[in-house]
Amino acid sequence: MTGAGIVGIVLPIVGTQLFLLWLKTDAHRRPVESPDEDSITLRHGAAVWMIGALCVLGLPGFIAFAVYQRTMHGPPDPSGPYPLLLLSGAFVILGGWIVAEAAVNQIVVSASGVSARPLFGRVKTVRWEDIRQIKFAPIASALVLDTHSGQRIWVGVFMVGFVAFLQALRKHMPPNVYGPAVNALQARYRLAA
């Protein structure tokens, strides 16, 4: 393997890890919204909005420019500009999803329980005593609250106020319910909470 090949493999991995570190740090340093003293509101931070805007505007614009340059000044391509335009459309859809998720999704944690407003569907409200199990979903970077009735609430690690959410878990839930999930989460993201 050549030096360029190694750089081509290592650079995206290091870049992704630095980006995730920035996303976590941005979310966990911001102050938590609190409608009153007894509750906190978790939302997506500015970094998520920036990712969505980049996907909706930045990457499709770059791809459109590349298609223009290739069709006007490059050698003829038998497949035409369609694969790149399809990639551009995929980024617009992905970025739109991210922006919509950041705009709508919020989680309110109170002394009585957790309330979540997802992108699609109705508001889900769960009392603390109804939570049966808490699992860590590493691919989604979220804690999943499972209830006795089968409801699920996903709480993203990169939401502003997540550390305060962990403190609320410790305050309102027995350690045998949240312990394994929070331990796995803290080992992965090195959270101090």
* Tens-binned pLDDT, residue by residue, of the chain (193 aa): 666 667 667 777 777 777 767 666 666 665 565 556 678 888 888 888 888 888 788 777 777 777 777 777 766 666 666 777 777 788 888 888 888 888 888 999 999 999 999 888 889 999 999 999 999 998 888 999 999 999 999 998 888 888 888 888 989 999 888 889 988 888 887 766 5
Domain spans of the chain? 30-44+105-193, 45-103
CATH class, domain 30-44+105-193, is mainly beta
CA atoms of 136 and 129, how far apart (whole Å): 19
CA atoms of 15 and 72, how far apart (whole Å): 33
Here the tokens at position 79 are: 């497949």
